A and B are shown apart, each in its own frame.
Chain A
Amino acid sequence: MTEPDPTVDAAIRMRGITMSYGSVQALTGVDLDVAGGHLMTLLGPSGSGKTTALRLIAGFDRPDAGSIELGGETMVGPGAFVPPDRRRVGMVFQDYALFPHLTVARNVGYGVAKRERPQRVREILELVGLSGKAARLPHELSGGEQQRVALARALAPDPRVILLDEPFSNLDAALRARVRNEVAEILRRSGTTAIFVTHDQEEALSLSDTVAVMHDGGIVQTGTPTEIYHHPADRWVAAFLGDADFLPGRADDGSVTTSVGVFPSPHRGSVTVMIRPESVAVRPTPDGTAIVTRREFFGHDQLVTIGLPDGSVVRARLGPAPFLRPGDHVDITVDEAATFPGVGAH
């Protein structure tokens, strides 16, 4: 699913994009392909260059070097620069950027040719479920509705791609999950290629077909949500995507032995083994060799920190049920682990 279909041109293709603001290097040679109709997430901490990448695709900024193609047409390249109004790129801004002086209908119709405007506005408002609010002004809408107007406005001129910049960060937590699913659904139904930028791992993993993880102005890993979560390219990605503990080990003959078990390893010699707390099962038993050192209770689950006999530490995410106290003896088993070559400092 995630491999770009070689028969279809990549809808978005970036090659060797570098960009700096003064002395700050924002992007350091970014290559990116997004297949037509796919939903791709750029995931990274703030300052990693995600928004810069979006703005370059939209044409609001100009890279120092590199090329960008949309649907096979060169937008940016040596001696070429297509201004944003001729790129057919829809952008949904973090603050929505709805025109405050225009009604919902006129916002949505803003980028549509006059002749097609009434019809298209009706269609799109129906798609996003806001037909009844066409005459409202943006400030009369709720946050979730504003979000959908912004999406509708971006979709209305039938863009080649849609770019969404942290689109859910202004919504409160309760609303966010619902709106997120609605937006993903609308995008899939409209069949538009989309990139969206977020720093929220859960959002990225739950929403997209493909995730590109950005760090310090470069893309460090691209893959399906499952791939990057369970097989991160390096220790930084592993820690950024979720809780993880790292144990040292020696690998030979395709497997590595650690204090919590034996795991397959493609690497040889000194390796680091990554363990997600979800992969750790805990069984309380008086003659267990591991000892609970800490317990954080969250209601729907709990995170238990466990000290191993050799002094290393792993955490386990468990359901609310077993009531463990610091000092309890337990046995643990680990279902799955990933390995990286070398022993990195923590």
Chain B
Amino acid sequence: MAAVAPPGVVPTPKPSVQKPRRASAALWAAAIAVTLPGAAPILHLLWTVVKPGGFDAGGISATRLLQLFGSTTLLVGSVTATALAAGTATAWLTSRTDIAGRGVWSTLVSLPLVIPSFVGALAMLGSSGNGGLMSLALSAIGLPRLPVFSGFWAAWGALSLWNFSYVHLVTTPALRRMDPSLEEAARGLGATRWRTLRDVVLPQLRPALLGSSLLVALYVISDFGAVSLLRYETFTRAIYTQFRGRLDVTPALFLSGILVAGALVLVLVEQRNRGKASLAARRPARPPERIPLRGARRVAAYGFLTTVVIGGLVLPIVTLGWWAMRGLSLGNVFDPVWAEAARSTGVALAAAAATVAAALPLAILTVRHPSRPAGVLESISWSTYSLPHLAVGLGFLTLSIRFVPAVYQTVVLLIIAYMAMFLPQALSATQAGLRQVGPHLEDASRGLGVGALATLRRVTVPLVWRSLLAGGGLVFLTVMKELPATLLLRPTGFETLAVRIWSASSELFYTQASVAALVLIGISAVPLYLLVTRDR
């Protein structure tokens, strides 16, 4: 997942003004065809849990299930709460107070997103323990070394640190778009600052807060790399262990099915709360008032922002750089990971192109011809997107072995899986673009004697080109960072940067892992920079 708003904060179109029109059969066929690959693995997984005539747990005991459920819930709850608090705080500080350099701070606290959580976990490992960077720094000034970061606290810290930026990114526009006259009206009616916050500000922020906390919760449920490296047992880690350890995939499939069912509950909650989003969709006539911070509060504000930027951005990059340099100076054979970088970039570009192309018919269907069935197709793709990649990957893996062995362990399957998983990123960008292009333009083109496909080529695509690029950029970023599905579905020997980082850090080759991680961050930074500056 990447820096895109989940459905909970995407304002749904109100079809009342533009009357919905019937879509052509070809459009329906295309939209269904691109949604199908996402639906298949989910249905397959749910099917393995609730088979007709029985319930095949594959030898997983109820106690074990309860244990995993408990540990996963604990992590999801604690990380979501922490990220929500931290992200709302940074958003508020950078958009509603008078601290200096608000724009710079806002960018800086978004930047931890360039660091995938498993790379963050690698950096945490590389800074703690006997040979870690922070341990060495502490012992240089006579303090005890840090123990190796592992277990619940490490996983909580890593996932909070590399997820709070989602909350920041979703909440900031909501705070900025808030109409100050509503708050002034409340104050003018005699409400205190506190009552105004509770009765006027928070209800307006509700969709953003709810949407972003669900985003974080889903991310934590899906996280595989960070919890594995930091040795905290959750569903995803247990699934992978089961899958790797045995010939029989039934227990892994069963656990995935349970995990998918759990995540689907969250997805449904999220989609139920969609309608409220339109509350924050207007643009106010003037920016809201900025609250002056003085004295200790101002110091605390700078202190907090500095801490999260150092923890989420500076420390990991310094640690990775230090490991890379140290290995090289010790004479380790320098492995330039060019081949991995080329593979990652190539497959991410191909996946981005395929996903954007697939999103176009679905976007046209949902924006130009809104209907209940079209909404169902959209929800299916969002559901696949929200589910743990490890589980979806396992679904693709077993489906392909059983029904299409020709694509098993091929790049084709990998790209189809990426397309199915990340379709909504391209979809929401394309939808946003289409909504800005009035449907009259397409009608005008048809009225001037130009057919539907030629209209798409001559009018629609040129006008939504930037949105298509933005959607493609998001997919590119996400694919670059994707680990679990890539691990399961890649052809043998097909090492991407993410796979390389994973395998090297599991074997404690920190230098090798750090070089690959720095290259990954470097490549991701380019499209991320373009995406972030585009939104300004």
Contact = CB atoms under 8 A, between A and B. Distances in A.
**Closest 5 interchain pairs by CB?**
A111-B448, A97-B440, A84-B446, A97-B444, A91-B447
A99 B441 CA distance: 6
B445 to A, nearest CB: 7
A58 B448 CA distance: 10
15 contacts: A60-B443, A83-B452, A85-B447, A85-B448, A85-B455, A89-B447, A91-B447, A93-B440, A93-B443, A97-B443, A99-B441, A101-B462, A110-B450, A111-B450, A156-B448
Interface string B62-87: 00000000000000000000000000
A88 interface: yes
A156 to B, nearest CB: 8
Interface in B359-394: none
A84 B443 contact: yes
A85 B452 CA distance: 8
Contacts, number: 70
A84 B450 CA distance: 9
Interface string A82-114: 011111111101110101110000000011000
Contacts of A88: 449
A101 B20 CA distance: 26
A153 B449 CA distance: 12
Contacts of B451: 83, 85
A58 B443 contact: yes
A335 interface: no
Contacts of B444: 91, 93, 97, 99, 153
A61 interface: yes
A21 B443 contact: no
Contacts of A60: 21, 443, 446-447
B227 to A, nearest CB: 48
A344 B16 CA distance: 35
Nearest to A61: B21
A62 B22 contact: yes
Nearest to B459: A99
B162 to A, nearest CB: 39
A21 B19 contact: yes
B463 interface: yes
A94 B440 CA distance: 9
A307 interface: no
Interface string A140-169: 000000000000011011000000000000
Contact of A59 (B446, B455, B458): B446
Nearest to A150: B444
A85 B441 contact: no
B469 to A, nearest CB: 15
Given A58-B443, A84-B443, A93-B443, 6 more contacts: A61-B21, A85-B448, A93-B440, A97-B444, A110-B445, A111-B448
Contacts of A62: 22
Contacts of A157: 448-449
Given A95-B440, A97-B444, A85 B450 contact: yes
B438 interface: yes
Contacts of A84: 443, 446-447
B324 to A, nearest CB: 46
Nearest to B454: A85
A97 B448 CA distance: 12
B376 to A, nearest CB: 18
A169 to B, nearest CB: 14
A157 B22 CA distance: 27
B206 to A, nearest CB: 30
A157 B452 CA distance: 18
A97 B438 contact: yes
B18 to A, nearest CB: 11
A91 B443 contact: yes
A83 B438 contact: no
